[in-house]
């Protein structure tokens, strides 16, 4: 199968998985959004510009887990465990990664893939070395090689290197491995809100 055929197949698989997950997860998403809305001032959804494939910007969707205006308070875009800007409901959503459920719509829309490097901010991309920029050769994902190997527990450069390794070795078999490992990474207790990613 040529590159065009693989791309088309990947797109079909992405839409099928994300669409099914949205249907199954819609009650959890609705309850989570309601909890955000009734327990803190501001919208349930948070939109932020992230960098996608080939360096193109797109609007990332998330459930809001921090107070409104958090980026202008405290540590700015850097978010650490115990950050006081994170709401009580936000802490629970982050712990289970439920705040990322709206990104399934990013996958359906074509901004993201189910599997790939996590999308980062423009200021982070501007600091990439030439090798690190290879992670922009594929669509960003909801889960990925770095996510199932510790993510926030790893140094930033090591996480980027894991993503680059994925880009250089990606295959259907590797994607299946990542999908199989994702539940263990999710429920293994790794905190997903450390520095390197602004998760509001």
- pLDDT tens-digit series, residues 63-91: 999 888 777 665 555 565 668 888 999 99
Q: What is the C-alpha separation between 29 and 63, in angstroms, rounded?
A: 9
Q: Out of 43-52, 121-130, 184-193, pick the least confident.
A: 184-193
pLDDT, average across residues 50-65: 96
Burial 25-35 (b: 16+ CB within 10 A, else e): eeeebeebbeb
Continuous segment of H or E residues that includes residue 108: helix 103-109
% the chain with pLDDT above 70: 86
Encoded tokens for 173: 């078999």
pLDDT tens sequence across 98-126 = 999 999 999 999 999 999 999 999 999 99
Among the listed residues 171, 175, 174, the one whose alpha carbon sits nearest the alpha carbon of residue 142: 175
pLDDT > 90 fraction of the chain, expressed in percent and rounded? 68
pLDDT computed for residue 31 by the predictor: 97
Could you tell me which residue, 79 or 157, shows the higher pLDDT?
Answer: 157
Helix, strand or coil, per DSSP, at residue 195: coil
Task: Report d(CA 38, CA 43) in Å as an integer.
Answer: 10
């Amino acid at each position: 199968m040529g590159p065009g055929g693989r791309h088309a197949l990947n797109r079909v698989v992405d839409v099928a998985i994300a669409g099914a997950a949205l249907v199954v997860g819609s009650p959890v998403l609705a309850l989570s959004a309601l909890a955000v809305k009734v327990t803190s001032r501001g919208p349930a959804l948070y939109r932020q510009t992230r960098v996608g494939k080939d360096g193109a910007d797109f609007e990332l969707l998330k459930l809001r887990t921090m107070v409104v205006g958090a980026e202008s308070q405290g540590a700015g875009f850097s978010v650490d465990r115990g950050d006081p800007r994170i709401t009580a409901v936000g802490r629970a959503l982050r712990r289970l990664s439920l705040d990322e459920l709206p990104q399934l719509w990013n996958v359906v829309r074509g901004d993201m893939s189910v599997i790939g490097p996590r999308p980062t901010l423009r200021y982070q991309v501007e600091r990439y070395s030439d090798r690190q920029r290879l992670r922009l050769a594929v669509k960003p994902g909801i889960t990925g090689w770095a996510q199932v190997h510790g993510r926030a527990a790893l140094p930033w450069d090591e996480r980027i290197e894991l993503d680059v390794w994925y880009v250089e070795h990606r295959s259907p078999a590797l994607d299946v491995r990542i999908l199989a490992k994702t539940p263990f990474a999710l429920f293994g207790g790794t905190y997903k809100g450390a520095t390197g990613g602004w998760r509001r």
